[in-house]
Amino acid sequence: MLITYTSTPTLDNVISIAELKSYARVDASDDDALITSLRDAAVNYIESHCDIRIGAVEALGYIDTFYPVRFPVGPVTAISRVDYINASNVLTELPTTSYYQEFVNGQGRINWVNSPSLYSYSYNRIKITFSVGYAEASVPEAILHAIRLLVAHFYENRMTVAIGRQANDVPMTISSLLSQYRKL
């Protein structure tokens, strides 16, 4: 499934720069832009590592044929509509009675009942509009703590490898915090 996101969360509603500065013990505002950038990098890392979205967003998923789909990102909270290119090459909304959906532990699935014929000469013939991501006010504390730890780690260790010391890889603590949220 190909996924595009049609909205972006406001990360200040998830975890503020002031909170990150307090955690990293940064008093001056000189590095606010850097900490904002590090927060964005930390969120991107966590989203990629766990196949989740931090902050609720709207998304479009594209598939070529009607087959059972398990969404490769989570947590999926709703499917608002399904459109398909019919045999006459016209974009048509699929009635909700033609599919069923399931959301369990952040995993979203959709399957089809009496799927219609599709136009033969195109890709991405089915477009699924859905909501995905942790709402800004309900991001699990373990994920928020992983963001704090990553930002502090990135802030203190600005080089990948320090001469005479061990490599500054992402700490194992972060992987431990995120393991329960990772989609495999």
Give the residue among 49, 47, 46, 76 at the shortest CA–CA distance from 61: 76
At 39, is the secondary structure helix, strand, or coil? helix
Give the residue among 57, 62, 97 at the shortest CA–CA distance from 78: 57
Q: What is the pLDDT of residues 76-120, one digit of tens each?
A: 999 999 999 999 999 999 999 999 999 988 889 999 998 999 998
- Asked whether residue 153 carries a pLDDT value surpassing 70, the answer given is yes
| Residue 155: its H or E element | helix 141-156
State residue 111's pLDDT score: 95
Q: What angle do CA 82, 88, 89 make, to 5 degrees?
A: 60
Residue 162: pLDDT band with limits 50, 70, 90: low
- The pTM assigned to this predicted structure is 0.84
Give dist(CA 139, CA 135) in Å, integer: 6
